[in-house]
Amino acid sequence: MDDMRGVAAGQDTATTKISARGVQVHYGTNHALKDVDVDILDRAVTAFIGPSGCGKSTFLRCLNRMNDTVSSAKVSGKILLEGEDIYDPRVDPVQLRAKVGMVFQKPNPFPKSIYDNIVYGPRIHGLAKSKADLDIIVEKSLRGAGLWEEAKDRLQQPGTGLSGGQQQRLCIARAIAVSPEVILMDEPCSALDPIATAKVEELISELRQEYTIIIVTHSMQQAARVSQRTAMFHLGDIVEVGETEKMFTNPSEKRTQDYITGRFG
Amino acid sequence: MPTQHTTTVFDEDMKFLAHKIAEMGGHAERMLEHAVRALVESDIHLARRVVSDDVILDDAQNIIDDKSVLVIAQRQPVASDLREVFAAIRISTDLERIGDLAKNIAKRVELISERAQGVRLVRGIEHLGDLALAQVKEVLDAYGARSTARLNMVRDRDDELDAMYTSIFRELLTYMMEDPRNITTCTHLLFCAKNIERIGDHATNIAEAVFYMVEGSKMPQFRPKDDESHKVGLDSQG
C-alpha cells in the first residue's frame, strides 16, 4: 500500500514530540479515557477524530494538564513531552502551558486591546524586557497568525471587535506569542464560516513548519485536509492511529470506516 | 455495503450507483455477445440492433457521471465510499468503451456477410469473443460480489486472449496473401478481432478498479502482456 502514502515522504523529520502510554482519565465514576497509547510526531498536524464523548477532547486536555483544573478528574499513565514526564510533581503547569498552547472552540480573546491580548502571555512569562521587545512579539505573532495586515492599524482597539474568524486567529497569535512547541486546537473552526475556516486551515498548514499541532475536529473533511496523521477515538480508546491519507482512503479498522463514512456517531 | 449510513439518502445514492453499473455491465455483455453472434451468423438484423443499442450505454454512463459528481459534492465520500464512487466512474467508462467496440464490430457485419468466404473466417473470432465475454462476466461478477478472489484469473486469461488475437492476425494475413480478393473482408475481420482484444483490456481495467475498490490498494504487479501482433511481419509468414 505504499502508493497511498505520498504525504509520508514530506515527513522526513518524523521524531516523536509527545509520547503517551497507558493514559487513563476518570471524572468521578466516569471512566472517560481507558488506556491510550499514542506518539505525536514533531512538526506535523495530528487530528483527533471520533464521535462525541469518545475522549478526544479529554485526552487533548491531558496534554497541557488542563484537566488539573477539573477537581473530579483523575489522570494516570505517562505523558512525555520530549522525554520529560509532564505530570512530574516538579513540573509547573503554567510553564507547561506556555510550551503547550491551546486554542478553543469558541474564540475567546481577553476583553482587552488586540495588542494587550498578545503581550499578556509574554509579560507574565517575562519573555520581553522592553516595549520594543513586546512590539516585535506582537508583529511576529500577528504575522504568524496571518492577521497582521488586518490588525496592524487597530492594535489598540478591543480584540472582541474583530470578526469571529479574526478573533480565532487572534487567539492563535496569542498562543504563539509565548513561543510554544505544541499547539492544541479544540475544534478551532466549528464557530467559523467557510472562508474564516479556510484561513485558519491555511494557517495551520503554515504553523506546522514550526510547531507540533494537534487538532480535535468533528469535520472529517477538515481532518483529511489539514492533518498528516489521524487518531480515531471511540469509547475512551484509540481505535486506530496512522497516516491521514491512508485513514481516509483505506482505514484498517471497521469502526474507523463506519465513523468516517457516516455510519455511526 | 455492509452497514447503513446515518443519512439514508446517501445509502440510496450508493445503491443507485452500484445498481446502474450492474445494469450497464449486463447491457455491455449483451452487446458483445450479440455483435459476435451477428458476425458469426451473418445476422444483419441483430447487428443493427447492437448499433442502435449503444446509446443506452452512453446514457447510462452520463447518468453515473452526474450522480458520482453529485455524491462527491454533497457527501464528500471517504474510505470505502470514496473507492466505490471512484470505481463507478472508472468502470462505467470502460463499459461504455466496450459498448463502442461491440458496436464497431456490428457495423462491419453487413459488409463481411456479403462475401461468402467471410463465414469461414469468423470461427476464430467467435472463440475470441467467447473468451472476452467470459472476462467481462467475471469482472462484473467480482464487482457485484465485492470479491477479488478470481481477479487473478482474469489477468491470466487476458494473456490467453492476446495470444489468440495474435494468431488470428497471422491467419488473416495468410488469407490475404493467398488471395487479394480476401483483403477487404479480412481487414474488417482484423478490426473485429482487435476490438475484441481491446474489450479484454477493458475487462482487466475493470478488474483493477474492482480490486482497488475492495482492497483499497493497487492490484499487485499487474502487467498484462500486450498482444504480439505488432511484431508479426510478412517475413514470419513462412
Q: How far is A217 from chain B (nearest CA, A)?
A: 16
When pLDDT is cut at 50, 70 and 90, the band that residue B121 belongs to is: confident
When pLDDT is cut at 50, 70 and 90, the band that residue B155 belongs to is: confident
pLDDT at A6 over 80: no
Residue B108 near residue B192 (C-beta atoms within 8 A): yes
**Residues across chain A:** 265
Chain B residues inside the 8 Å CB shell of A219: none
Q: Which residue has the cell 475470441?
A: B128
Chain B residues inside the 8 Å CB shell of A249: 78-79, 82-83, 216
Region B204-209: mean pLDDT is 96
pLDDT at A248 over 90: yes
Positive or negative CA dihedral for A152, A153, A156, A161?
negative
pLDDT of residue A14: 77
Residue B85 near residue B52 (C-beta atoms within 8 A): no
Which residue of A lies nearest to B86 if distances are taken between CA atoms?
Answer: A249
Residue B39 near residue B127 (C-beta atoms within 8 A): no
Cβ distance A1 to B217 less than 8 Å, yes or no, reads yes
Give A171-224 pLDDT, tens digit per residue. 999 999 999 999 999 999 998 889 889 989 999 999 999 999 999 999 999 999
Cα–Cα distance between A159 and A138 in angstroms, integer?
A: 13
pLDDT at B182 over 60: yes
Helix (H) and strand (E) counts in chain A: 10, 10
Cα–Cα distance between B78 and A248 in angstroms, integer?
A: 5
pLDDT at A8 over 70: no
pLDDT of residue B164: 94
Cα Rg, chain B, nearest whole Å: 20
Cα–Cα distance between B162 and A16 in angstroms, integer?
A: 52
Q: Pick the closest to residue A235 from A63, A35, A60 (CA basis).
A: A35
pLDDT of residue A211: 95
Q: Does A51 touch chain B (CB under 8 A)?
A: no
Chain A residues inside the 8 Å CB shell of B76: 220-221
Chain A residues inside the 8 Å CB shell of B215: 250
Q: Report yes or no for ipTM above 0.85.
A: no
Residue B192 near residue B165 (C-beta atoms within 8 A): no
CB atoms within 10 A of CB A255: 20
| Amino acid, single-letter form, for residue A215 | I
φ, ψ for residue A22 (rounded to 5)?
55, 40
Region B206-215: mean pLDDT is 96
Enter the C-alpha cell of residue B50: 447492437
Q: Among B76, B78, B212, which would you mutate to test the A interface (most chain A Cβ atoms within 10 Å of its Cβ)?
A: B78
pLDDT at B224 over 80: no
When pLDDT is cut at 50, 70 and 90, the band that residue A1 belongs to is: very low
Enter the C-alpha cell of residue A158: 478591543
Catalogue the long-range contacts made by A221-227 (C-beta closer than 8 Å, 24 or more residues apart): A221/B76, A222/A47, A222/A189, A222/A197, A223/A47, A223/A49, A223/A248, A224/A248, A224/B78, A225/A201, A226/A45, A226/A47, A226/A201, A227/A44, A227/A45, A227/A46, A227/A47
| Amino acid, single-letter form, for residue A230 | T
Q: How far is B52 from chain A (nearest CA, A)?
A: 39
Residue A73 near residue A25 (C-beta atoms within 8 A): yes
Which residue of B lies nearest to A246 if distances are taken between CA atoms?
Answer: B79
Region B180-194: mean pLDDT is 93
Region B47-56: mean pLDDT is 96
Region A47-62: mean pLDDT is 94
Q: Pick the closest to residue B142 from B87, B78, B223, B217 (CA basis).
A: B87
What pairing do the DSSP bridges indicate for beta strands A45-49 and A212-216? parallel
pLDDT at B222 over 60: no
More confident residue, A263 or A241: A241
Cβ distance B5 to A263 less than 8 Å, yes or no, reads yes
Q: Pick the closest to residue B196 from B103, B111, B71 (CA basis).
A: B103
Give B77-106 pLDDT, tens digit per residue. 999 999 999 999 999 999 999 999 999 999
Region A153-164: mean pLDDT is 95
Q: Among A239, A261, A264, which would you mutate to test the B interface (most chain B Cβ atoms within 10 Å of its Cβ)?
A: A261
SS3 B52: helix
Q: Which residue has the cell 473485429?
A: B192
pLDDT at B33 over 60: yes
pLDDT of residue A196: 86
Q: Pick the closest to residue B36 from B25, B50, B24, B23 (CA basis).
A: B50
CA distances to A74, A151, B131, B135, B225 from B159, in Å: 65, 67, 11, 11, 6
Mean pLDDT, all residues of chain B: 91
Region A221-250: mean pLDDT is 95
Q: Among A227, A239, A263, which would you mutate to test the B interface (most chain B Cβ atoms within 10 Å of its Cβ)?
A: A263
Catalogue the long-range contacts made by B99-102 (C-beta closer than 8 Å, 24 or more residues apart): B99/B27, B99/B28, B99/B31, B99/B53, B99/B54, B99/B57, B99/B58, B100/B54, B101/B32, B101/B195, B101/B196, B101/B198, B101/B199, B101/B202, B102/B28, B102/B31, B102/B32, B102/B34, B102/B35, B102/B50, B102/B54, B102/B195, B102/B199
Q: How far is A92 from chain B (nearest CA, A)?
A: 42
Cα–Cα distance between B160 and A100 in angstroms, integer?
A: 63
Q: Where are the beta strands (DSSP E) in chain A?
A: 16-27, 30-41, 45-49, 73-81, 84-85, 100-103, 182-186, 212-216, 229-234, 237-243
pLDDT of residue A5: 44
Q: Can you give the pTM of this predicted structure? A: 0.83
Give B226-236 pLDDT, tens digit per residue. 677 887 875 55
Region A105-112: mean pLDDT is 94
Residue B225 near residue B159 (C-beta atoms within 8 A): yes
pLDDT of residue A263: 87
Chain B residues inside the 8 Å CB shell of A222: none
pLDDT of residue A12: 47
Option in B80, B215, B217 nearest A257 (CB)? B80
When pLDDT is cut at 50, 70 and 90, the band that residue B117 belongs to is: low
